[in-house]
Amino acid sequence: MSILVDENSRVVVQGITGREGTFHTQQMLAYGTKVVAGVTPGKGGQKVEGVPVMNSVAEAVDKEGANVSCIFVPAPFAPDAVMEAAAAGIQVIVCITEGIPVLDMVKVAAFLKEKDSVLIGPNCPGIISPGKTKVGIMPGHIHRPGSMAVISRSGTLTYEVVDQLTKAGLGQSTCIGIGGDPIIGSSFVDHLRRFKEDPETKGVVLIGEIGGTAEEEAAEYIVQEFDKPVLAFIAGRTAPPGRRMGHAGAIISGGQGKAEDKIRALQQAGITVVADLAELGKTASQVMAK
């Protein structure tokens, strides 16, 4: 099994006529993703890579049965794109866009509370169920079907970890990049709950980073409810306080968000924390062999 997306997912790409939208539509189609529609207001009737372009997400839902959205809309317009997708009944919304202002995401988060949609991102690489579908920008060739789940705040570290898992003979059930902004649509805990119920997911890798309290919250949840093996890596151990590192949310401020605090919380929860990223694949093999 996989969570949230699979071979039956019908994807609409918002911003399909832009450079990034067009390129990654090509990549998703090549992977086997069912991209059934694109949306760019005012450009309805065109086609991109054989995919029909429509003027609204509601039209894509009505005409093509779209149930997953992938958003490549520029930051000033991305919040409206997310809310449009949710209002149209899209079940899973993947927002790749980076640079969305925090205040705009506050409005989006409030809007989504009244909807049944799951938002992944923004500022994320998306989600992939290896061998079934990918929605976003993850490099499909490094993934293999299997039983390890990956949940990550970092895009590039996701690719490194997946590559190591694959080379270690550990395929993946679903890999999710949740994004590194201060306000994101879904958390470690949200997805851990889903993986708990997935019988084919046997273990999980969490990739965290400095800033916020998401990793500590995940540790608390794992202690209370999660009974599958979990490994973790925390990026930013040498980052100085007050300086943003990579993501908008990757900053130590107000005495919170330090790598050592996260590592301590995870270790106290019985989670194997890998200090050297290069050892993650090897360590995962050892943990899963127990």
The residues annotated with a catalytic role in the active site are: 247
Q: How far apart are the first and last CA of the chain?
A: 23
Query: Token digits for 258?
Result: 């330090």
Query: Token digits for 44?
Result: 């309805």
Scanning the structure block, which residue is given the tokens 């590192």?
245
H-helix segments, the chain: 19-31, 57-64, 78-87, 102-112, 155-167, 188-196, 214-225, 259-268, 280-289
Close Cβ partners of 100 (under 8 Å, ≥ 6 residues apart): 75, 78, 79, 122, 123, 181
Close Cβ partners of 115 (under 8 Å, ≥ 6 residues apart): 86, 87
CB 88 within 8 A of CB 58: yes
Beta strands 92-95 and 34-39, pairing class: unpaired
